[in-house]
Chain A
Amino acid sequence: MLAFLVSAIRLGMTFLLGSTGETITEKSGHLNLGIPGVMCVGAACGCYAEYMYFTAVGSNIIPLLAVVIPLLAALLGGALMGLLFSFLTVTLRANQNVTGLAITTLGVGMSEYIIDEASTIFTKGSKYFTASLPFADDLGWFGELFLDYGVFVYLALIIAVSTTYVLNRTRVGLHLRAVGENPATADAAGINVSRYRYVATCVGCGIAGLGGLSFIMDYLNGNWEYCVDAIGWLAIALVIFTVWKPNLAIIGSIVFGALYVASSYIVGVSFAGKELFKMLPYIVTILVLVVTSMRSKKNQPPAALGLPYFREER
Chain B
Amino acid sequence: MNKTIALECRGITKTFGRVVANRNCDLDVYEGEILAILGENGSGKTTLMNMVAGIYFPDEGQIFVKGEEVVIASPRDAFAHKIGMIHQHFKLVDVFTACENIALGVEDKGRFKLAEVRKKVIEITQRYGFIIDPDKRVAEMSVSEKQTVEILKVLYRGADILILDEPTAVLTPQETEKLFAVLRRMREDGKSVIIITHKMHEVLSISDRVAVLRKGEHIGTVNTAETDASALTEMMMGVKVELNIQRSQPRDPQERLTVKNLTSVNPEGRPMLADVSFTAYSGEILGIAGIAGSGQRELLEAIAGLHSLTGGEITYVNPKDGHVENLRNKIPIQIRDLGVRLSFVPEDRLGMGLVGNMDIVDNMMLRSYSKGKGMFLHRKEPRDLAQTIIEDLQVVTPGASTPVRQLSGGNVQKVLVGREIAAAPSVLMAAYPVRGLDVNASYTIYNLLNRQKESGVAVIFVGEDLDVLMELCDRILVINAGRVTGIVDGRTAQKDEIGLLMTKSHDANETEAGEGA
Q: What is the interface of chain A, defined by CB distance below 8 A to chain B? A: 169-171, 174-175, 177-178, 181-182, 184-192, 297-298, 300, 303, 311-312, 314
> How distant is B88 from chain A, measured CB to nearest CB, in Å?
12
Interface residues of B in 65-111 (CB under 8 A from A): 74-76, 78-79, 85, 87, 91-96, 100-101, 103-107
B16 within 8 A of A: yes
> How distant is A295 from chain B, measured CB to nearest CB, in Å?
10
Which residues of B lie under 8 Å from residue A300 when comparing CB positions?
95
- Report the separation of the CA atoms of residues A186 and B96 in the bound assembly, to the nearest whole angstrom: 12
Q: Determine whether the beta carbon of B56 is less than 8 Å from that of A188.
A: no
Which residues of A lie under 8 Å from residue B103 when comparing CB positions?
171, 174
> Which of B16, B95, B104, B406 is the one whose CB lies under 8 Å from A189?
B104
> How distant is B397 from chain A, measured CB to nearest CB, in Å?
14
Interface residues of B in 1-54 (CB under 8 A from A): 16, 53
**Chain A residue, CB-CB nearest to B47:** A314
Q: Determine whether the beta carbon of B105 is less than 8 Å from that of A186.
A: yes
Interface centre among B93, B103, B139 (most CB of A within 10 A): B93
Which residues of A lie under 8 Å from residue B107 when comparing CB positions?
171
- Report the separation of the CA atoms of residues A186 and B53 in the bound assembly, to the nearest whole angstrom: 14
Q: Determine whether the beta carbon of A189 is less than 8 Å from that of B75.
A: yes
Q: Determine whether the beta carbon of A171 is less than 8 Å from that of B93.
A: no
Which residues of B lie under 8 Å from residue A192 when comparing CB positions?
74, 76
Q: Determine whether the beta carbon of A187 is less than 8 Å from that of B96.
A: no
Q: Determine whether the beta carbon of B112 is less than 8 Å from that of A169.
A: yes
B488 within 8 A of A: no
Which residues of A lie under 8 Å from residue B265 when comparing CB positions?
none
Q: Determine whether the beta carbon of A188 is less than 8 Å from that of B94.
A: no
> Which of A170, A178, A190 is the one whose CB lies under 8 Å from B96?
A178
Q: Determine whether the beta carbon of A184 is less than 8 Å from that of B91.
A: yes
Q: A185-B93, A314-B405 are in contact. Are A178 and B139 (CB under 8 A)?
A: no
B55 within 8 A of A: yes
> How distant is A34 from chain B, measured CB to nearest CB, in Å?
26
Which residues of B lie under 8 Å from residue A314 when comparing CB positions?
16, 405-406
Interface residues of B in 333-388 (CB under 8 A from A): none
Interface residues of B in 404-432 (CB under 8 A from A): 405-406
**Chain B residue, CB-CB nearest to A171:** B112
- Report the separation of the CA atoms of residues A81 and B265 in the bound assembly, to the nearest whole angstrom: 48
Which residues of B lie under 8 Å from residue A298 when comparing CB positions?
95
**Chain B residue, CB-CB nearest to A303:** B94
Interface centre among A184, A191, A303 (most CB of B within 10 A): A191
> Which of B94, B104, B153 is the one whose CB lies under 8 Å from A186?
B104
> Which of B85, B106, B139, B405 is the one whose CB lies under 8 Å from A188?
B85
Which residues of B lie under 8 Å from residue A175 when comparing CB positions?
104-105
- List 29 A–B pairs whose Cβ atoms lie within 8 Å, in order of A's numbering: A171-B103, A171-B107, A171-B112, A174-B100, A174-B103, A175-B105, A177-B96, A178-B96, A178-B105, A181-B95, A182-B91, A185-B93, A186-B105, A187-B74, A187-B75, A188-B55, A189-B104, A190-B78, A191-B104, A191-B105, A297-B268, A298-B95, A300-B95, A303-B94, A303-B95, A312-B55, A312-B56, A314-B16, A314-B406
Which residues of A lie under 8 Å from residue B53 when comparing CB positions?
188
Which residues of A lie under 8 Å from residue B406 when comparing CB positions?
314
**Chain B residue, CB-CB nearest to A294:** B267
A177-B96, A303-B95 given. 7 additional CB < 8 A pairs? A171-B107, A174-B100, A178-B93, A186-B93, A189-B104, A312-B16, A312-B55
Interface centre among B85, B100, B101, B105 (most CB of A within 10 A): B105
**Chain A residue, CB-CB nearest to B153:** A189
- Report the separation of the CA atoms of residues A185 and B268 in the bound assembly, to the nearest whole angstrom: 27
Q: Determine whether the beta carbon of A190 is less than 8 Å from that of B94.
A: no
Q: Determine whether the beta carbon of B56 is less than 8 Å from that of A297.
A: no
The 9 closest A-B pairs by CB, nearest first: A189-B105, A190-B76, A185-B91, A171-B112, A190-B105, A188-B91, A189-B104, A181-B93, A190-B75
Which residues of A lie under 8 Å from residue B96 when comparing CB positions?
174, 177-178, 181
> How distant is A194 from chain B, measured CB to nearest CB, in Å?
11
Which residues of B lie under 8 Å from residue A178 when comparing CB positions?
93, 96, 104-105
Q: A174-B103, A175-B104, A181-B94 are in contact. Are A188 and B87 (CB under 8 A)?
A: yes
Q: A170-B112, A182-B93, A311-B55 are in contact. Are A190 and B79 (CB under 8 A)?
A: yes
Q: Determine whether the beta carbon of A174 is less than 8 Å from that of B75.
A: no
> How distant is A168 from chain B, measured CB to nearest CB, in Å?
10
Which residues of B lie under 8 Å from residue A177 when comparing CB positions?
93, 96
Q: Determine whether the beta carbon of B104 is less than 8 Å from that of A174.
A: yes
> Which of A169, A171, A181, A188 is the one whose CB lies under 8 Å from B75?
A188
- Report the separation of the CA atoms of residues A185 and B89 in the bound assembly, to the nearest whole angstrom: 10
